[in-house]
């Protein structure tokens, strides 16, 4: 994924309007782009081309359904580990090998590896965390969400 900002003139006003509008969601219909295009004063084909280009240049990471694993009876859990710097790359490989690891970030803290486990069943979180502990010999701290105060940030492009 692109981590560098795009050059300043990469996005025009229409691109920005598309980015802002399409964070809000598309209707579940036969021609979903046609409806969104109308509110942007674009043709359906122009909107689809814009989205494809935005994806190509890395302004968006994906387009599609945002699934909530918990609503499906699954579970997400944020976990953290204190990984000795000398072992960091080895542990990255071990942790990332688990399909349950959806995101993994290196962070500036004694707890320097933070990852999200996404499992289909609640007991999958515990099993995945235990497996990581066995394979790495390191402790996994689990920070399950107890209460969600806010989710649904929109970036103003």
Partner 1 sequence: MNIDATDRRIIAATSGGLPLAPAPFAEVANWLGLSEDEVLARVAAMQAAGVIRRIAVAPNHYALGMVANGMSVWDVDDAQVDLLGPKVGALDFVSHCYRRPRALPGWPYNLFAMLHGSTREEVAAKRETVAALLGPACRGHDILYSTRILKKTGMRLSGEG
User: 78 or 138: whose CB is closer to partner 1?
Assistant: 78
Nearest approach in angstroms of CB 14 to partner 1 is 14
Q: Which long-range contacts (CB under 8 A, 24 or more apart) does 134-139 make?
A: 135/94, 136/81, 136/83, 136/91, 136/94, 136/95, 138/81, 138/82, 138/83, 138/91, 139/81, 139/82
Of the pair 137, 141, the CB lying nearest partner 1 is at 141
CB of 117 to partner 1, least distance (A): 10
Q: Which is nearer to partner 1, 65 or 134 (CB)?
A: 65
By CB atoms closer than 10 A (0-12, 13-18, 19+), residue 129 is buried
Closest distance between partner 1 and the C-beta of residue 122, in Å?
A: 15
């Amino acid at each position: 994924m692109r981590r560098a900002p795009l050059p300043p003139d990469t996005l025009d006003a229409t691109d920005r309007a598309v980015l802002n509008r399409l964070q809000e969601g598309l209707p579940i219909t036969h021609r979903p782009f046609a409806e969104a295009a109308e509110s942007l004063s674009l043709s359906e084909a122009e909107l689809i081309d814009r989205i494809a280009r935005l994806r190509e240049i890395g302004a968006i990471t994906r387009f599609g359904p945002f699934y909530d694993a918990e609503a499906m009876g699954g579970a997400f859990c944020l976990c953290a580990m204190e990984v000795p710097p000398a072992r960091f790359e080895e542990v990255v490989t071990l942790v990332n090998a688990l399909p349950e690891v959806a995101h993994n970030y290196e962070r500036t803290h004694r707890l320097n590896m933070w990852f999200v486990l996404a499992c289909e069943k609640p007991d999958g979180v515990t099993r995945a965390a235990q497996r990581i502990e066995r394979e790495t010999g390191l402790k996994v701290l689990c920070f399950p969400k107890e209460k969600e105060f806010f989710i649904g940030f929109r970036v103003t492009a």
